[in-house]
Chains A and B, each alone.
Chain A
Amino acid sequence: MTETPTLELRGIDKSFGPVQVLHDIALSAHAGEVTALVGDNGAGKSTLVKCIGGIHPIDAGDYLFDGRPVHVHSPRDAAALGVEIVYQDLALCDNLDIVQNMFLGREKRRGLVLDDSTMEEMAAATLRGLSVRTVKSLRQKVSSLSGGQRQTVAIAKAVLWNSKLVVLDEPTAALGVAQTAQVLELVRRLADNGLAVVLISHNMNDVFAVSDRIAALHLGRMAAQVKASEVTHAQVVELITSGRSGDLGPRTTPNGAAV
């Protein structure tokens, strides 16, 4: 790791009341790379993502963005930094078209009137930049799109705002084989375009298909963050299920004393 990571988290703790969900988490995401965040149900993936997105404030630890320590208290703060999160339920309005969804809440206006032409141009340029050719018309309603196309729109919406870090929560969970391939291709292209991408997934095939690094969470602790090329499928599964694999992971079990 020679350059500064786009996102660097150090020693993040997060509790909800008496329950400590995240313990001393360290995570880095580099520009141009896909960092996969894996972990079993309840490992703390969603909480960590919400901390990154500013929905949950962190209790302790450092949040560094482009090397600078920052304080993220709300989704607005996160968006201002260039952090965009695509949640699993996408949050699209079925009755609006693609352009309207991409600009929802941040419309371009000319005086009182919406500047539809400029928005359509920008949306088209964004989709072209991502080499998306699966949507026929930008003016078709989202209700007429397939699951993969919806995911594409949600991702394009996140990229539209010169974002630097895009976090994708299970983007392929509800998709078929062909659509999963398309979305993964898109995820890869985001990184190739110079963004830092954090991909949450349960699917090991997806993780190995696109990611450069893998960060495995186990019971609220970061078991290991490794290069995807240096580990095997089986090792990652072991990290997810037991928190360690060979010489990877903490020396003691996560339930015992700290290292």
Chain B
Amino acid sequence: MTSALAPQKPERPNRPTDSEEDRPPTAGLGDIGRRYLDQVRAGELGALPAVAGLVVLCVFFSLLRPVFLSNLNFANLLTQSAGSIAIAMGLVFVLLLGEIDLSAGYASGVCAAVLAILLTNHGWPWYGAVAAAMLTGAVIGLLIGTLVAKVGIPSFVVTLAAFLGFQGVVLILLKEGTNVSVKDPTILAIANDNLSPVLGWVLLAGCAVGYAVLQLRRSRDRLGRGLAGTPVALLAVRTGAVVVLGGAAVYLLNQERSRNVIVSSLKGVPIVVPVIGALLLLGTFTLQRTGFGLHIYAVGGSAEAARRAGISVAFIRTSAFVICSCLAAVGGIIAASRGNSVDPNTGGSNVLLLAVGSAVIGGTSLFGGRGRVVDAVLGGLVVAVIQNGMGLMGYSSGVKYAVTGSVLLVAAGVDAMSRRRSAQR
């Protein structure tokens, strides 16, 4: 049959032989560094701007206001940022699809109001009230997701309407603006209590060992199959970084930070830290390791390609909004715990914008398809450092808002430019 080949068959181009069996099973550290630089040059900045910004801001503020580095302030920074980080984590899922959820702030307010009313006015146990708050979040997400994915209203409009609507719902739930206090010790503990110093160390050790073992097993598996694995040196560097950074944080947080030790002792890792850590692990696992997560990236990259591959685009869209609103509920619970109460401003004013800012500053693209859950944490810390540091320097809220807004604009600009850069090829 092949004898029927036409005579004009093209010459097979002779390719250089170096591309044959080109990949050594393990790349050296230098190779990985070079590949990373290439990525950065190609516009894949990843977490680089957020980490660099965080370091620069911390150095800047600690030089100008040494109190910025105090143990008390460090712990404050973490508890201040936790609520908005939780909301930002949820927003990452929605932003990955190229959508937006403007109602996440007030959704967290509605969930916090549900929590407080059930706890205080109806005497529910904390787990019942938390479950109800989470369920409220899930229903909100399902509603928004269905309107976006099935009805086809742009998410900007749906969530703008929901933004107004939920503001009203919070007011109605709270009887035109009364303040419902939260007295349940378990809920209050989330943002106000600390782990015992020993438990902090145990938790860190567990995380470091777990991280090292998982990475090593994965690399072994890949090398065993002749695939390019991560070199052990890099694994050691990464694990070392986790141990050193985590160790420093736990050490600082385990120092006494009470102004008056006789009245009360205040030390240990705030409970919100492992809460956010657990959400980070769960979210990262979902996005990076499961088929569902991959499909979120696929829909964000090209909805048409995903549809042709047999992925239910409507299901993916709806579930991203459900996840977002559920994490907003978590943010609301943290806010209720931190404020000891819920009022009509919970989840209002700048909460949403700070959360969107956190995700974008961390490196999640507004155009969809690029972003990670850890971006929300890094960006959230940047935002918190700006707010906290400028507060210490005595600037008014007006200046703080203006600066935070500018940083968000810069981050969005970097996002747009890096997108153009990678589209040029």
A residues at B contact (CB < 8 Å): 30, 32-33, 75-76, 89, 91-96, 100-101, 104-107, 109, 112-114, 117, 120-121, 124, 133-134, 136-137, 139, 143-144, 178, 181-182, 184-185, 188, 191-192, 205, 208-213, 227-229
Compute how far the CA of A185 lies from the CA of B12 in the bound complex, rounded to whole angstroms: 7
- Write out the residue numbers on chain B whose beta carbons fall within 8 Å of the beta carbon of A95: 297, 300-301, 369-370
Decide: A133 near B15, CB < 8 A? Known: A107-B294, A112-B290, A212-B5: yes
Cβ of B248 within 8 Å of any chain A Cβ, yes or no, is: no
Cross-interface CB contact of B23 among A137, A181, A210, cutoff 8 Å: A137
16 contacts between A and B (CB under 8 A): A75-B308, A91-B302, A91-B309, A93-B305, A95-B370, A104-B309, A107-B294, A114-B291, A134-B15, A182-B13, A184-B10, A205-B8, A209-B8, A209-B10, A210-B6, A213-B4
Interface 0/1 of B291-304, CB less than 8 Å to A: 10011011011101
Tell yes or no: B175 within 8 A of A by CB. no
Q: Which residues on the B side are within 8 Å of A205 (C-beta)?
A: 8
- Contact status of A117 and B290, CB under 8 A, knowing A93-B301, A181-B10: no
- B256 cross-chain contacts in A, Cβ below 8 A: none
A104-B311, A144-B425 as given contacts; A113 in contact with B9, CB under 8 Å: no
CA distance A185 to B15 in the complex (A): 13
Assuming A94-B302, A104-B305, is B290 touching A32 (CB within 8 A)?
no
By beta carbon, the residue of chain B nearest A229 is: B4
Residue ID in chain B nearest A100 by CB atoms: B294
Q: Closest CB-CB distance, A190 to chain B, in whole Å?
A: 12
Report yes or no: B22 in contact with A136, Cβ–Cβ below 8 A: yes
Interface majority SS on B: helix, strand, loop or mixed? loop
Report whether B2 and A32 are in contact in the complex, using a CB–CB cutoff of 8 Å: yes
Expressed in whole angstroms, the minimum distance between the Cβ of A221 and any Cβ of chain B is 24
Please measure, in the bound complex, the distance between the C-alpha atom of A143 and the C-alpha atom of B13, giving whole angstroms. Answer: 25
Q: Which chain B residue lies CB-closest to A120?
A: B227
Query: B15 to chain A: which residues have CB within 8 Å?
Result: 133-134
Contact present for B370 and A117 (CB under 8 Å): no
Q: Is B310 an interface residue (CB 8 A)?
A: yes
Q: How far is the CB of B44 from chain A (nearest CB, A)?
A: 8
| B34 close to chain A: CB less than 8 A | no
CB neighbours of B300 from chain A (8 A): 95
> In this assembly, does B19 line the interface, its C-beta being within 8 Å of a C-beta of chain A?
yes
A121 CA / B229 CA spacing, docked (Å): 13
CB distance from B222 to the nearest CB of A (A): 5
Partner of A188, one of B1, B9, B227, B305: B9
Set of chain A residues within 8 Å of B19, measured between Cβ atoms: 133-134, 136
